Structure 1
Amino acid sequence: MAQSRQKSYADKRRKDLEFAVGDRVFLRVSPMRGVKRFGVCGKLSPRYVGPFEILECVGAVAYKLALPPRLAGVHNVFHVSNLRKYIRNAAHVLEYEPVELREDMSYEEYPVCILDREVKKLRSRKIPYVKVQWSNHAAREATWELEETMRREYPHLFESTS
């Protein structure tokens, strides 16, 4: 009697999840103490990763996912409780500009222009800084650099301004 009552209470909150082949889902990752996942440790690590496409339904409550090569060591069939439906949103899509990569998979950043100047006063000294916009970055990601260093390493930036 008590068990059936508890079951009915639990069933009121429970929702049956069903996905179709081709749907995209997030995969739950469980945090473990002291284990770094995706470059972040502990409670700041992501709860879900993805989205991944469902390849097929395996049984009533398990789904086979199309995992990327970096997750090749992970079994690709998951219980429905570890999945969350991905709802397409245009805000999730990031636009990027292609970056020229070297053979060692690194890239070079160079200053594009100087956006601003500022002189900081430190006791009896005045230290000039310039706000530099870098390649592959937006103007809001510009950094403050020592003017002396920038003049020495990138003199072409100051030819038209001085």
Structure 2
Amino acid sequence: MVGEVAYRLNLLAWLGHVHNVFHVSMLRKYTLNTSHIIEYEAISLQENVTCEEQPIRILARELKVIRDRGILVVKVLWQNQREDEAIGESESELYEKYPHLLNFQLEVVL
């Protein structure tokens, strides 16, 4: 404990860039259960402990109208994500970063 509302965690040396003090609201009590098995895929991290997500495919398209202006929003499935975690992105911004992704998609019906 560091004070009444913060904890300092002992992290591995290779996580030295990660801040190791957390507020109690960020922590949850864990009850040991031997049947819990954590399966994970290795994610390649860069030196600054970030990873570059790549879009896998577009799940849906929608035209959002805001103040008489139409914006195409696409629901994108990103690498290392489940389908229920897919989020909406602006199609134009997505096209700027990943033009190859949108070339394969169906046309939008307005």
Q: TM-score, normalised by structure 1?
A: 0.49
Q: Secondary structure of 1:157's partner?
A: helix
Q: TM-score, normalised by structure 2?
A: 0.68
Is the aligned partner of 1:154 residue 2:103?
A: no
Runs of 4+ in 1 over 6 A off after TM superposition: none
Other-structure match for 1:68:
none
1:133 to 57, 74, 77: 77
Question: Rg: which structure is higher?
Answer: 1
Aligned partners of 1:42 and 1:123: how far apart in 2? 42
Instruction: For residue 103 of structure 1, report the CA deviation from its aligned partner.
Output: 3.9
Q: Which structure dedicates a bigger proportion of its chain to strand? A: 1
Q: Secondary structure of 2:81's partner?
A: coil
Residue-by-residue CA offset, 1:114-142 (whole Å, 9 max, x unaligned): 11111111121111100111111111211
Identity among equivalent positions (%) equals 34
Residue-by-residue CA offset, 1:55-109 (whole Å, 9 max, x unaligned): xxxxxxxxxxxxxxxxxxxxxxxxxxxxx8x3312xx223212212334443211
Other-structure match for 1:12:
none
Aligned residues: 95
What are the within-5 Å matches in structure 2 for residues 9-158 of structure 1? Answer: 32-37=3-8, 40-42=22-24, 45-47=27-29, 86-89=32-35, 92-158=36-102
Other-structure match for 2:13:
none
Q: Which structure dedicates a bigger proportion of its chain to helix? A: 1
Q: Secondary structure of 2:61's partner?
A: strand
Q: Any unmatched runs of 5+ in structure 1?
A: 1-29, 49-83
Instruction: For residue 32 of structure 1, report the CA deviation from its aligned partner.
Output: 4.2
Instruction: Give the CA RMSD over aligned residues.
Output: 2.6
Q: Any unmatched runs of 5+ in structure 2?
A: 10-20
